[in-house]
Amino acid sequence: MREKEYTSIVKQLETVMREQWDCDALTDYGSDITYKYSSVAKRICYLHLLFESLGIKAGDKVAICDKNSSNWAIAMLAVLTYRAVAVPLLPDYSKEQLKMLCEHCDAKFMIASHRLSNLWPEGQCPMYMIDVNDLLAMTPSGFTDEVEDKAFAMFAKRYPDGFTKEHVHYEAENPDDLMILSYTSGSTGNPKGVMLPWRSLQSNLQFAADAIPCKKDLRAFLILPMAHMFAFAFDFLYCITCGAHLFILTKVPAPKVILEAFATIRPDYFLCVPLVMEKIIKSKVMPVLNKPLMKVLLKIPGIHGVICRKIRQQLTSALGGNFYEVIMGGAALSKEVEKILRMVGFRFTVGYGMTECGPIITYSDWKVQRPGSCGKAALNMEVKVDSPDPRNIPGEIMVKGPNVMRGYYKNPEATKDTIDEDGWLHTGDLAVVDKDGYFYIRGRKKNMLLGSNGQNIYPEEAEDQVVTHSLFEECVVVQREGKLVALVYASDMLLEKLGTTREELDLETIRKEVNLHLPNYCQLSKIEQRDEEFAKTPKKSIRRFLYK
């Protein structure tokens, strides 16, 4: 295991604000909104004064919930440089889920959109809230004008001659202090808040610098939700500490929108979940390769090489042409798409990680990456397969190192189940490892599903909503071709009592009703009825592995 000495993230941010003062920092792609590092630093200072006026201290929780934007990024940087604990929340949670998470994490401040202003009855909100978009004008116009007026007046009084780079100063963090509280699940009664210390993210930044050397004029394009640790660590935090110009996609990442953006931005740096690449390949490349004549030509050795080179050039050009490699993570890459990418010689690699490691665990450069592998142990990390024969018999991936979380917030039982007495984190993923240290994931130890966009999906969440918001007594949610399908059962006795039959049930209406209570990443695509109840264990637990 290779290790590097810890360096302060907060001090890196202080340095980059000063050195890149007149350079562009953040741009909302498709708009006229661009902030220079000087503007970012000024707004960070304003929010610090706002926190100060509210009595918020280092270590207090501050929740941030909105779609991707430059203002989201500025809010996060303000929280980090104040050394408060950031709690990024996905905006596609339902209001009930967001309320539960805010109360669970003990947040004292929330930066969100106006749609969340009525999460609690009037006068009962346990925290102060500000609209993330008020950062744009930096004027006192949020939910509570009186407090913002005070902060705005403090800013004007403290910097009467203007805010300059010499005013930028942040206190360094303690590596073991809590930095991020990231929720992997939020719609059940027992949410899991991953407690990531500063050392975890700094270790991830060291990995990124080792994998892709930092440069001041780096142009990056962010398309994943910044509340996801994959995007937060590498698309956002690493790029800012490099002094990069970060372009942020604020729209749905449809292939057409993404390709148009690439042609304009021509990024040096690009991360994505496999779904994005799969959409591009399936919409732009596969229709060409599946033509009868093309299939014949690909069988001719000399012509095969010409065609593959042409496709590689077109695909690379479509993604801007400047990137060193495309790094994918957060979900498994389609074998069909990987085969095509390797056939044409496209520069890509697939890494592996989890929120509990902030997130990186394994990675390899595209030049040495092996088919089907998720790479080798990342910088600073020890990784092993718990198996009597790790090369041939899949075992659980176990990891140790500075990336590993402190545990789950308010959940010592789950923490004990995940991190053993020797400090090894049990990932719940099964894999084998070859003689050279390359890992190959074979499946999930438990029943957690992984959405195409990289979001962890716990089927029990959706099952609970089906049972709660429909007449069905039993439910098992399975994944088919990346989509969630609910298998359901209602007894004859219940149907007779309700005066209906299975044939009379409107499954589509029921599906739509259930989806109203689920996050976007956990939506059901279909509901299928069963005539018989599910097979169960002696303890009356459903034998989930029997159902696909």
Of residues 459 and 502, more confidence is placed in: 502
Number of domains in the chain: 3
- Residue 55: give its domain's CATH number: 3.40.50.980
Q: Is residue 192 part of a domain?
A: no
pLDDT the model gives residue 142: 44
- Residue 245: give its domain's CATH number: 3.40.50.12780
Q: Are residues 244 and 360 in the same domain?
A: yes
- Give the helix/strand (H/E) hosting 346: none
pLDDT digit string, tens, across residues 210-224: 888 777 789 999 988
Question: What is the pLDDT confidence band of residue 345, given thresholds at 50, 70 and 90?
Answer: very high
Q: Are residues 466 and 450 in the same domain?
A: no
For the segment 167-175, the average pLDDT, to the nearest whole number, is 96
For the segment 443-470, the average pLDDT, to the nearest whole number, is 73
Q: Is residue 1 part of a domain?
A: no
Q: Are residues 301 and 353 in the same domain?
A: yes
Q: Are residues 302 and 368 in the same domain?
A: yes
Query: Range of 260's domain?
Result: 198-456
Q: Is residue 436 part of a domain?
A: yes
Alpha-carbon 340 to chain mean position: 26
pLDDT the model gives residue 265: 94
Q: Are residues 446 and 477 in the same domain?
A: no
Residue 535 is which amino acid?
A: A
Position 456 pLDDT exceeds 70: no
DSSP class of residue 174 equals: P
Q: Is residue 41 part of a domain?
A: yes
- Take residue 24 and report the two structure tokens written for it: 């562009």
Residue located via tokens 């956990």: 522
Q: Is residue 294 part of a domain?
A: yes
Q: Are residues 65 and 75 in the same domain?
A: yes
DSSP class of residue 133 equals: G
Percentage of residues of the chain with pLDDT beyond 90: 54
d(CA 496, CA 493): 5
Lowest mean pLDDT among 50-64, 328-342, 444-458, 493-507: 444-458
Question: What is the pLDDT confidence band of residue 140, given thresholds at 50, 70 and 90?
Answer: very low
pLDDT the model gives residue 115: 66
pLDDT the model gives residue 349: 95
Residue 537 is which amino acid?
A: T
Question: What is the pLDDT confidence band of residue 535, given thresholds at 50, 70 and 90?
Answer: confident
For the segment 456-466, the average pLDDT, to the nearest whole number, is 77
pLDDT digit string, tens, across residues 402-414: 999 999 999 999 9
- Take residue 317 and report the two structure tokens written for it: 């050009």
